[in-house]
Amino acid sequence: MSGSLKKFYIIAWAIGLIFYFLDYVIRSAPAVMIPQLVDNFNTTELKLISMIGTYYYTYSTCSLIAGIALDKFGAKKSLFVGTLILGIGCLLFLLSTQVAGVSGRLLQGAGCAFAFPGCVYLASKGFSSKSLATAIGFTQCIGMLGGTAGQFVVGPWIEEGVNIYTFWLWSGIATIITAFGLFFIIPSEKKAKDLEATQSQHIGYLEPYKIVFKNPQSWLCGITSGLLFAPTTIFAMTWAVAFFEKDKQFVFHDAAITSAMVAFGWVFGCPLLGFITDKIGRRKPVLIGGAVLMIISLLQLIYLPDLYPAKISMFIFGIGSGAAMIPYSVIKEANPDYVKGSATGAINFITFGVTTLLSPIFSKWFGESLGKVSSGDLHFQHSVLFWIGGIVLAIIVSLMLKETGSKVQINNEIG
């Protein structure tokens, strides 16, 4: 691929980051406007929360569809359609009916499923293998900034009286503008066509996933990533506030800030660990090192809580959890180039599957007993040890991964 074409892909990737930023803003914003949405859709709070949760139904299934679309039709058409669907989903929230609300949220999930695989696809076209993990880490960093903005920026706006219609209108407009920006900037696949792109045109729609899922390394990547993601998505971003309040007796404000430090740590950890793994040319040492840092921070939190504040513990944990993104580089390097999109869709699907499996287990074992035990400290320790066990399992699984870093690729070429 020519240097000028790579530059176009890098520019397209930068615009794709706007799509991914909006993805996380739109994903997280409903949590700070629940009373307003209840009034808008004339429903109950319980039904509204169920409505918001429908996002993940289409997000999980469309992750696989996004991978196929990227490999079969290229980024230009796929990302345009995905971003446009997200924009339409936002605009449907302007209608005051429950049908519009559910339809809008389903479309938001479907559209957002294209954001991360699309950005990774563009990054893999624009950056060399030496810089790919850094680019993917930076991509995730932008997403986490969007998630933070969706709550800590949008929340105060709503409190100050900004109408939710204004938010959803401008979110929809911004997303649709981004869709057309991607369509006009992403190079045509005909211009970027090479041998492997030609190969992808001659295989069936499901063949890319057959290739990816038949590769044991793909499953190892997904399981490792899922086990490292779960403590962040299930515990830190869902349960942590309640656990800090009821087990550790934090006031709500401190519990919320402490939990939010994980996402803040991600903002630094994802690009930092990506940069380190690209710099040394190896994936596994940084992956395992990040997981070990997660374990150390959690052990300090439960056994040496007076060493430094819980906010710092959770921030360090967030930095270490950036290692969960490294398998996204590994799976792309462990599979043929012409299934890049499907590889990302597959790891998204497996990762989501692992977290979906662990969530009800954690809820049953620890969530139901929250606030009902005699010793809150002991309950908190046991709940955190559950996640430490998962991280240890992730390290064990990662040992079975083949090293795919640039140093290994160079050695293979020399050999």
- Per the rule left: phi > 0, alpha: psi between -120 and 50, beta: everything else, 128 is beta
What would the mean pLDDT of 323-328 be, rounded to a whole number?
90
Which range of 43-47, 161-165, 342-346, 362-366 scores highest in mean pLDDT? It is 161-165
Q: Is 257 exposed, middle or buried (0-12, 13-18, 19+ CB in 10 A)?
A: middle
More confident position, 216 or 239 = 216
Q: Which two tokens stand for residue 208?
A: 């890319």
- pLDDT value at 199 more than 60: no
What would the mean pLDDT of 195-223 be, rounded to a whole number?
77
How far apart (Å, rounded) are the C-alpha atoms in residues 56 and 127? Answer: 30
pLDDT at 346: 87
How far apart (Å, rounded) are the C-alpha atoms in residues 9 and 215? Answer: 28
Contacts of residue 367, defined as CB under 8 A and 6 or more positions apart, other chains included, come to 239
- pLDDT value at 46 more than 90: no
What would the mean pLDDT of 181-207 be, rounded to a whole number?
68
- pLDDT value at 116 more than 60: yes
pLDDT at 69: 87
How far apart (Å, rounded) are the C-alpha atoms in residues 341 and 337? Answer: 9
CATH architecture group of domain 1-193: Up-down Bundle (1.20)
Cβ atoms of residues 357 and 233 within 8 Å: no
More confident position, 300 or 144 = 300
What would the mean pLDDT of 170-198 be, rounded to a whole number?
80
pLDDT at 154: 81
Least confident range from 145-149, 157-161, 197-201, 202-206: namely 197-201
Q: Write the single-letter amino acid at 62.
A: C
- pLDDT value at 48 more than 90: no
More confident position, 351 or 341 = 351
pLDDT at 15: 95
How far apart (Å, rounded) are the C-alpha atoms in residues 140 and 314? Answer: 18
What would the mean pLDDT of 119-129 be, rounded to a whole number?
86
Q: How far is CA 227 from CA 59, 205, 212, 321, 368, in A?
A: 19, 29, 20, 10, 22
What would the mean pLDDT of 161-179 be, rounded to a whole number?
95
Phi, psi values for residue 373, rounded to 5°? -105, 160
- pLDDT value at 49 more than 80: no
CATH of domain 204-402: 1.20.1250.20
Which pLDDT band holds residue 208 (cuts at 50, 70, 90)? confident
Instruction: State pTM to two decimals.
Output: 0.75
Least confident range from 102-106, 119-123, 269-273, 338-342: namely 338-342
pLDDT at 190: 63
CA 116 to chain centroid: 7
Which pLDDT band holds residue 3 (cuts at 50, 70, 90)? low
Q: Which two tokens stand for residue 122?
A: 């563009």
**pLDDT tens string 284-316:** 999 999 999 999 999 999 999 999 999 999 999
Least confident range from 65-69, 179-183, 372-376: namely 372-376
What would the mean pLDDT of 162-189 be, rounded to a whole number?
93
Cβ atoms of residues 105 and 49 within 8 Å: no
Least confident range from 157-166, 276-285, 355-364: namely 355-364
Q: Is 307 exposed, middle or buried (0-12, 13-18, 19+ CB in 10 A)?
A: exposed
More confident position, 302 or 43 = 302
pLDDT at 165: 93
How far apart (Å, rounded) are the C-alpha atoms in residues 406 and 415? Answer: 14
Q: Is 30 exposed, middle or buried (0-12, 13-18, 19+ CB in 10 A)?
A: buried
Q: Dihedral of the CA atoms 125, 107, 239, 22 (nearest 10)?
A: 50
pLDDT at 313: 95
Please tell me if the domain spanning 1-193 has the same topology as the one spanning 204-402.
yes
Domain definitions of the chain by residue range: 1-193, 204-402
CA 209 to chain centroid: 20
pLDDT at 1: 58
pLDDT at 195: 46
